[in-house]
Structure 1
Amino acid sequence: MDVVDGSGHPEPVDLARTRMATRAARLGRPPHRPDQPFNEPITMASVYAAGGELEYGRYANPTWSAFEEALGGLEGGRCLAYPSGLSAVATLLDLVGHGEVVVAPKHAYLGSLTQLGDLELRGRLKVRLVDVTDTAAVVAACEDAALVWMESPTNPAMEVADLPAIAAAAHDAGARLVVDNTFATPVLQRPLELGADIVLHSVTKYIGGHSDLLMGAVVVADEQLWTVLKQRRDSFGNVPGTLEAWLALRGLRTLPLRVERAQASAQELVRRLAERDDVVEVRYPGFGGMLALVLDSGPRADLVQHSTRLWVYATSLGGLESTLERRRRWRSEPETIPEGLLRLSVGVEDVDDLWDDLVQALDSARL
């Protein structure tokens, strides 16, 4: 029997006690009342009548708030949305004091490394790059650091870090740990539960999932840190578009389904690719829809990415569509990334169709 509140309506389910797929489907929705919409509407407003909590369009928006409630609930913290992943990156790096040390992966999202390199070049901070698979080296590098920046898996090398051990080392040094969780998503990894202080997302990727928006997000567990970040967002106007927030929330609804499908297909593709003698190496962290395969040369990898018919040659990832890209085509990609490495983002297409297309591309690129 339903428990009924004083209004005669059943009391809502405590979504914090439900599982991931249920929370993704239900968090951030208006109360279910007669004639109320199922979804949070797009609120197009730059100003609100005074006397309430909203006040002005730079401070809050009901559509942002619905998205932030949903993603925060999935990650286990409080969320703030930003106009892009890189704007969120810049916000977090702004927490670092002048001349302080940031520990970061030598293989990571190129935009993050570019920002770190620019800030170091200008004398704003010091960067200490590490191999995230060498936990002892990462722990040693944390000494005197102010911020430890991790990706796991790393982009595009697919390396996995020991996040609990690194979190402990960061905290022993008095540093905060940021984990970019774009590849794993909260469906597969919840960094706050592993000791991280801050979780970062390029919402453009898996969270949005449809290749139709630019947005970023930060999730924290500490209320004081959330307040600091919120005040800075208010001051700098680093806010997302309302339509983008609405699209991101719509995409988040199917995140568990998409991740489950992409992961199953990725694991099957990894199994089949490992049997080909023309693939030098297959890199897969063991979970998720991202993988990399290494061919014997850059030219051959170029031929493959230009020969696929179903896989889309594109630099983004995490969408419904499967994409691939030779990462060393970008001059600023670290030299330790093999010339022949192709990063693959597995979408929701039939795995046999994806395999057939990869096979014909690999076969056509035999030199």
Structure 2
Amino acid sequence: MSQHSPASPASPAPHAAPASPASPASHVDSSFRPATTVVAAGRPAREPGAAVNPSIVYSSTYVGDETPAPGQLVYSRIGTDAWVPFEEALAALERADQPGLLFGSGMAAITAALDLVGPGAALVVPRHAYHAALVAARVLVERCGVRLRSVDIADTDAVAAATRGEGWDADGGGPAAVVWLETPTNPMLEIADIAAVSRVAHSVGGIVVVDNTFATPLLQRPLELGADVVVHSVTKYLAGHSDVTLGAAVTSDPDLYASLRRRRTFGGAIAGPMDAWLALRGLRTLALRVERAQENALELARRLVDHPAVLAVAHPGLPDHPQHALAGEQMDGYGAILTLCPRGGAAAAARLTGAVRLWLPATSLGGVESMIERRRRWPDEARSVPEELLRVSVGIEHLEDLWADLDQALRVSQER
């Protein structure tokens, strides 16, 4: 890594954090399309009598010798073959040159990536983003003197100015070390121009981290657009069944990979073998799930636009979305998240979530089941998010069943 120098803890002793375990023989051809890669990647070595699927490996430690070789398994907090198949598959999907890094939760991956910001450095963040990520960023301000620059991530000029430090004399000015992007943002679905922001960040020696949870690597591959690190809440679309809590980070830069891996090793935020196996199994159907869910989402958004109980609806696939054209250029689909604001404010939104029968009033997203939630019920959610805004994660159920339930709940929301 030539121009980037993220802060990192002291290098461990050679035996403490060996290189990532060797991946199983890959069945992934670089010409494969993502829908094929999710099925083919992370398989055991292809040989007579071999299992088609990787085993679930339970072992906290491994037999060793006096001087472990690089890549040799030593202790499961440092590395375990239970993670390798998923990490190989994620790297193939994101087109990364380094293995993926599986973490114990999405926030563990986010925290590790945020920790790349050195003490006193500047960090550019979206005005709207996953609220827990913004809370973690504010902790860096309090503990490490990080200078936080919050901007409208869809305004590329504003992001560029904050990245260069232009107009930020009050915080000491100077270029940002890290630009943090969510695109689409949570929950407002704003789209950032990853390529343009990456060019600006690199011109001043910074790096770009993209939370790709909403889009998934099927619809958007930030590393190909110039980003340096991609993070995921694996809990959401990648695993896809609302039954594991995991996160991941991926990069092509060997130095950034080493820094992130050290943070996982010494932070201890690791994945259990069963969760890693379930995530890989869920990944196999990612293409089918995303295709069905985003088809449902776009059609629901189109219908909601004309619903008398709806004040506003947003989805990147709607022509009136402010970044509709950019989403069409940058993404291979518009995703399965939409937002709607019912008429009648927060009270109407609460009546709606209380009236759904098929939709689940729950706080996650990206599962096979459809979920709906009023985001401002959380104290840390940005005040600029409308009180009545509902984040809608569309699943794979039959479209007409989803519509019938949402329609009746919207009608209930208007009752006084």
TM-score by length of 2: 0.84
2: CA distance, partners of 1:333 / 1:58: 33
Residue 294 of structure 1, aligned match among 341, 345, 355: 341
The aligned counterpart of 1:38 is 52
Residue 249 of structure 1, aligned match among 267, 280, 284: 280
In structure 2, give the amino acid aligned to 1:110.
H
Residue 298 of structure 2, aligned match among 249, 256, 267: 267
Deviates more, 1:290-299 or 1:206-215: 290-299
1: CA distance, partners of 2:186 / 2:278: 25
Is residue 173 from structure 1 mapped to residue 204 from structure 2 by the alignment? Answer: yes
In structure 1, give the amino acid aligned to 2:303.
R
1:15 to partner: Cα distance = 2.2
Residue 112 of structure 2, aligned match among 83, 91, 96: 91
Secondary structure of the structure 2 residue equivalent to 1:138: helix
1:123 to partner: Cα distance = 4.5
1:256 to partner: Cα distance = 0.7
- Check conservation: 2:27, 2:43, Cα contact below 8 A: no
1: CA distance, partners of 2:400 / 2:63: 56
In structure 1, give the amino acid aligned to 2:103.
Y
1: CA distance, partners of 2:135 / 2:412: 35
Secondary structure of the structure 1 residue equivalent to 2:83: helix
1: CA distance, partners of 2:114 / 2:161: 21
The aligned counterpart of 1:351 is 399
The aligned counterpart of 2:74 is 55
The aligned counterpart of 1:212 is 243
In structure 2, give the amino acid aligned to 1:111.
A
1:156 to partner: Cα distance = 0.3
Write out aligned runs for 1:109-188 (5 A): 109-143=130-164, 144-188=175-219
- Check conservation: 1:15, 1:27, Cα contact below 8 A: no
Deviates more, 1:167-176 or 1:258-267: 167-176
- Check conservation: 1:42, 1:243, Cα contact below 8 A: yes
2: CA distance, partners of 1:207 / 1:285: 20
C-alpha change, 1:318 and 1:124, in structure 2 (3 Å) is same
- Check conservation: 2:359, 2:371, Cα contact below 8 A: yes
1: CA distance, partners of 2:157 / 2:121: 21
Structure 1, residues 192-223: CA drift from partner, whole Å, max 9, x if none? 01110000000000001000001000010112
In structure 1, give the amino acid aligned to 2:127.
K
Residue 76 of structure 1, aligned match among 89, 95, 110: 95
Secondary structure of the structure 2 residue equivalent to 1:268: helix
2: CA distance, partners of 1:182 / 1:39: 25
Structure 1 spans left out of the alignment, 5+ residues: 1-10
The aligned counterpart of 2:410 is 362
Secondary structure of the structure 2 residue equivalent to 1:62: coil
Q: Which runs of 4+ in 1 moved over 6 A?
A: none
- Percent of aligned pairs with the same amino acid: 48
Write out aligned runs for 1:315-334 (5 A): 315-334=363-382
Residue 316 of structure 2, aligned match among 263, 267, 285: 285
- Check conservation: 1:135, 1:166, Cα contact below 8 A: yes
In structure 2, give the amino acid aligned to 1:103.
V
In structure 2, give the amino acid aligned to 1:85.
G
Secondary structure of the structure 1 residue equivalent to 2:262: helix
Structure 1, residues 289-319: CA drift from partner, whole Å, max 9, x if none? 0000112301001110110000000000000
Is residue 29 from structure 1 mapped to residue 43 from structure 2 by the alignment? Answer: yes
The aligned counterpart of 1:103 is 124
1:34 to partner: Cα distance = 2.5
In structure 2, give the amino acid aligned to 1:358.
L
Size of the alignment, in residue pairs?
A: 357
1: CA distance, partners of 2:232 / 2:145: 24
1: CA distance, partners of 2:156 / 2:27: 42
1: CA distance, partners of 2:302 / 2:357: 22
In structure 1, give the amino acid aligned to 2:407.
V
Secondary structure of the structure 2 residue equivalent to 1:63: coil
1:13 to partner: Cα distance = 5.3
In structure 1, give the amino acid aligned to 2:54.
E
1: CA distance, partners of 2:133 / 2:305: 31
C-alpha change, 1:109 and 1:14, in structure 2 (3 Å) is closer
1: CA distance, partners of 2:281 / 2:241: 10
Secondary structure of the structure 2 residue equivalent to 1:17: coil
TM-score by length of 1: 0.94
In structure 2, give the amino acid aligned to 1:118.
V
2: CA distance, partners of 1:199 / 1:260: 22
- Check conservation: 2:105, 2:269, Cα contact below 8 A: no
1:14 to partner: Cα distance = 4.8
In structure 2, give the amino acid aligned to 1:327.
R
1: CA distance, partners of 2:81 / 2:28: 21
- Check conservation: 2:26, 2:43, Cα contact below 8 A: no
In structure 2, give the amino acid aligned to 1:81.
L
Structure 2 spans left out of the alignment, 5+ residues: 1-24, 165-174, 318-333
